[in-house]
Amino acid sequence: MTDALDRLDILDLDDDLADEDRLLRDTVRKFADDRLRPHIQQWFEDGTLPARDLAREFGELGVLGMHLDGYGCQGSTATQYGIVCAEVEAVDSGLRSLVSVQGSLAMYAIYAYGSEEQKQRWLPGMAAGELIGCFGLTEPDSGSDPGSMRTRATRDGDDWVLTGTKMWITNGSLSDVAVVWARTEEGVAGFLVEKGMPGFTTQDVHHKISLRASVTSELILDGVRVPEANRLPEARGLKAPLGCLTEARYGIVWGVTGAARDALVTAIDYATSRVQFGKPIGGFQLTQKKLADLAVSLQHTQLTAKRLGELKDAGRIAPHHVSFGKFSNVSAALAICREARSILGGSGITTEYPVLRHAVNLETVYTYEGTHEVHTLVLGSHLTGLDAFR
C-alpha cells in the first residue's frame, strides 16, 4: 500500500506538511488502519457500526470538534482538521460523516450560537465522544430549499412546543442531543432537543445502498416541549444553519480526497499485480492513461483542499470558496472511484475491495450538505451576480 501512496504524491505535497501535522496524519492513519479498516467491509455489508464505541475512540483521539477552542476541544488548525477528515474518509465516508456531523454540525452549532451554559453542558462530553449529537435541518418536503421547512416552534410560557419531521439525519437515533431547526414567528431558530423528551422519537432509514456504515434517521417531533434555555440564543434566521453547513462542507472538501486516494492506491496495487496477456495490466497503455488521468485529478483535489485550508486558517474563507471545493472535489472523487473500479475488472464490483464502496458513498456526499447542483448555482451566482435558485 505504502509504495502506491507515495507514488501518488507526484507534486510532493507531503513535503509541505508541518512536523506536527505529519504526526497527526500518521497517528490518525494508524488508528484508521488498526481500528477501522479491518472492520469496514463488515460494517458496510451489515449496515451497522459500533457508533458509541467509535465515538469514544474518536474522542480519545481528540478529533471530535478538534477545530473548536476550549470546552475540551483541541483548538486545531483548519488544515489539521482537514487532514483528519481525509484519513478517516480514506476508510469510509460514513465514518467521516460520524466525525464531521458531531464536530462541524452539532458541536459547531452549540459553539457558535449557544449560551455559555449550553456550551458547558454539552461540548466537553461531545468532544470526548461520551455524548453524540445530530443536526436536523432537512425535512421530507424541504431539502435544497430549507427556507420551506414546516417544522414549527410555538412559544408557550417559558417553553417552546416543537412539531414536525426531520429526514435523513445522520447520527439521528444515536444522539443524546439533536440540534433542530424550526420556524418561529421571528424566523428560523435552533433548539437543543434532548433524547427522551416526551414526544421526541426517531426511526432509522433502512435499505440504503450508500453510506451504509452510518446511521441515518428520521426525527419525529410531536408537540415536544423544549425549555427556552434549550433555544440557541445567537441563532437568528436561516443563516445560522447555513453557517454550520459551510463548516461541515469544508471537511468534505478534504474528506473526499481520502476516499479517492484510497480507491487509486487500490487500483495501482491491483494493476501492478494482476496479470493478463502475460503481463501486469498496469503495463498496458490504456491502464496507464487511466492511472495518469486519475492521479492528476487526485492531486488537483488535494491542492484545492490545501488552498481552502490556507484560506480558512487565515480567516479569509467565504461560502463561495467552500462551494468551489465541494463542487469540484466531490465530483472529481466520484469520477476517480468509478474509473478506478474499471481497473479492477469484475473484482471491482465486490466489497472485498473498497473502490465501489467509496463510489456509492460519494453518491451521498454529492447530494448532502448542498447538492452538486446547488453549489453550481452558488458559483454561477458568484460569477454573474445573478441568482438562479428560483
For ligand FAD, the binding residue among 63, 64, 179, 211 (CB under 6 A) is: 211
Q: Catalytic: which of 89, 218, 247, 369?
A: 369
Q: Does 374 bind ligand FAD (CB under 6 A)?
A: yes
Cell numbers describing residue 161: 412546543
Residue (31 or 135) nearer to ligand FAD, CB: 135
> Judged by CB under 6 A, does residue 108 bind ligand FAD?
no
Looking at 132-140, 182-190, 219-227, 286-294, which segment touches ligand FAD (CB under 6 A)?
132-140
Minimum distance from residue 261 beta carbon to ligand FAD (Å): 22
Site membership for ligand FAD, residue 347 (CB under 6 A): no
Report the alpha-carbon distance of residue 359 to residue 210 in Å, rounded.
9
Binder of ligand FAD out of 79, 93, 104, 170 (CB under 6 A): 170
Q: How many residues does the chain have?
A: 390
Distance set, CA 221 to CA 213, 215, 246 (Å): 26, 19, 26
144 binds ligand FAD (CB under 6 A): yes
DSSP string, 80-141: HHHHHHHHHHTT-HHHHHHHHIIIIIIIHHHHHH--HHHHHHHHHHHHTTSS-EEEE--BTT
Residue from 79, 102, 138, 173 binding ligand FAD (CB under 6 A): 138
CB of 378 to ligand FAD, least distance (A): 11
The CA distance from 354 to 316, in Å, is: 36
CA–CA separation, 252 and 258 (whole Å): 10
Q: Is 253 helix (H, G, I), strand (E, B) or coil?
A: helix
Q: Which residue from 133, 136, 251, 348 is in contact with ligand FAD, where contact means CB under 6 A? A: 136
Q: Is residue 239 packed enough to be buried (19+ CB in 10 Å), middle (13-18) or exposed (0-12)?
A: exposed
Examine residue 44 and tell whether it contacts ligand FAD (CB under 6 A): no
Residues between 68 and 107 that touch ligand FAD (CB under 6 A):
101
Q: How far is the CB of 269 from ligand FAD (least distance, A)?
A: 29
- Cβ contacts of residue 270 below 8 Å, gap of 6+? 281, 343, 344, 347, 353
Given candidates 168, 200, 250, 254, which one binds ligand FAD under the rule CB under 6 A? 168
Q: Is 371 one of the binding residues for ligand FAD (CB under 6 A)?
A: yes
Nearest distance from residue 132's CB to ligand FAD, in Å?
A: 12
Which one, 123 or 244, has the nearer CB to ligand FAD? Answer: 244
Contacts 24+ apart (CB under 8 A), 47-52: 47/206, 47/208, 47/212, 47/213, 49/94, 49/95, 49/98, 49/213, 49/214, 49/215, 51/98, 51/132, 51/171, 51/174, 51/215, 52/132, 52/174
Q: Site size for ligand FAD, by CB under 6 A?
A: 22
Q: Residue 364, interface with ligand FAD (CB under 6 A)?
A: yes
By CB under 6 A, is residue 169 in contact with ligand FAD? yes
| Residue 58 sits in the site that holds ligand FAD (CB under 6 A) | no
d(CA 87, CA 79): 12
Residue 381 interacts with ligand FAD (CB under 6 A): yes or no? no
Residue 301 interacting with ligand FAD (CB under 6 A): no
- Which range, of 7-15, 167-175, 249-257, 354-362, touches ligand FAD by CB under 6 A? 167-175
**Contact of 232 with 67, CB cutoff 8 Å:** no
Other beta carbons within 10 angstroms of residue 347's beta carbon come to: 15
Least Å from the CB of residue 374 to ligand FAD: 6
Binding ligand FAD (rule: CB under 6 A), the pick from 135, 191, 200, 327 is 135
User: What nine digits make up the cell of 341?
Assistant: 473500479
What CA dihedral angle connects 234, 240, 244 and 246, to 10 degrees? -130
Q: In the annotation, is 186 catalytic?
A: no
Closest CB to ligand FAD belongs to which residue?
Answer: 143
Q: Residues with catalytic annotation?
A: 369
By the criterion CB under 6 A, which residues form the site for ligand FAD?
101, 134-138, 143-144, 168-170, 211, 216, 364, 367-369, 371, 373-374, 377, 389
